[in-house]
Amino acid sequence: MPSNLPVSIRLPWNAPRIAVLEIAGTIGMQVRGAETVRTIKALAEDARIRAVVVEIDSPGGSAPVSDAIHRSLRRLAARKPTVAFVMSGALSGGYLIACGASKIIALPTSLIGSIGVIFMRPVVQELMAKVGVKMVMTHEGRLKGMFQPWREPTPEEEEKVKALTSEYYEWFVNAVAAARGLSPEVVKTYATGEMFPATRAKEMGLIDELGDFEAALDTASELGRTPRRLQYVRPRRPLLERLMARGSMSIAQALLSEAEDRLHPRIEFR
C-alpha cells in the first residue's frame, strides 16, 4: 500500500461540507452567547466547512448577546458563504443575528422584524411593603442605586433610561441599515417594533428570498461551490456547567438563580 495518497483522493472525514447551526429560543437564555460565539468561530476556522446555514427561530432577547452573535456571524460571512434560514420567526435580536449572514431566506409564513428596544426593570416595592420587608441601601455616587428593584425610579432616572434606550435603538437601526443596504431613515419607518410576514419583509428589503430549508441548502451549496454534505453542529456548554446540570444543582437552586436573574435590570432586543 503506498505511503502517500494522491492529491486527488480525499478522505471522507476531510471532504468539504455545509455546516448547519441552529439558533432557537430566547437569546441569552436558551441561546447562550459565549458558547454560540465559540461555535461560530470554530466554523470559520474549520477548512472542511465551505458554507454555513444558520437556522434561526428566535423572539430575540439580550441586546449584548444578540450583538455578540451578530458580530461573530458577520466575521464568518466575510470568510464563508453564510445563509440564514427562518422557519417560524426572526424577531428583534433574532433578526439582528440573521442580518449577520450573507443572505436571509425565510418561509413565506414566517415572521420578520420587530426592530426595537425594551428596557426591563422589575419593581417589587409594593410586594415588599405587603410582606413587611424593607431594604436599606448605602451607596456613593448619585445614581448608583438607580436600577435597584426595591423602589420606584425618580424622574431623573427615567430620563437616563430613556436616553440609554434611545442610544441602543439608534445602534440597532444603523446595524440593520448597514447589513441590508438600506438608509437609516427607511429602517426607522420599519423599526416600530412591528413584525411583518416574510412576503412583506422581502418587498421591504429585510430579507433576500422566500423559500424553505432545502432552498437555503441549495443557496449555500451554490455559493460555497460544495456538494450538499451536511454537518450539524450545536454549541456545547462548559464541562462544569454540564456536570452541575446533571447532578449537584437542584431544581430549587436553578429556580433561585432564575429569580435572581430576573430581578436585574436588562435591555433587550425583543
Could you tell me if 208 and 214 are in contact, meaning their C-beta atoms sit under 8 angstroms apart? no
Q: What is the pTM of this model?
A: 0.82
pLDDT at 25: 94
Average model confidence (pLDDT) across the chain: 85
pLDDT score recorded for residue 3: 47
DSSP string, 132-197: T-------SSTTTTTT-TTSPPPHHHHHHHHHHHHHHHHHHHHHHHHHHT--HHHHHHH-SS-EEE
Q: How far from the centroid of its chain's Cα atoms is residue 83's Cα?
A: 15
Distance CA 238, CA 236 (A): 7
CB count, 10 Å around CB of 97? 29
Residue 1's pLDDT is: 46
Which one from 58, 66, 92, 114 is the annotated catalytic residue? Answer: 92
- H/E run at residue 267: strand 266-269
Cell numbers that stand for 66 in this block = 444578540
Return the CATH number of 12-269, one of 3.40.30.10, 3.90.226.10, 3.40.50.1440, 3.40.190.10: 3.90.226.10
pLDDT of residue 124: 66
Q: Which residue type sits at 183?
A: S
Question: Which regions in the chain score pLDDT beneath 50?
Answer: 1-3, 5, 7-8, 240-242, 245-249, 255-257, 259-260
DSSP letters, 60-71, are -EEHHHHHHHHH
Predicted pLDDT of residue 269: 80
Active site residue 3: no
User: For 73-165, where are the E strands, in sequence order?
Assistant: 82-91, 103-106, 111-113, 118-120
Domain boundaries, the chain: 12-269
Q: Are 143 and 157 in contact (CB under 8 A)?
A: yes
CA angle 95, 96, 101 (to 5 degrees): 90
> Which pLDDT belongs to residue 256?
46
CA 72 to chain centre: 10
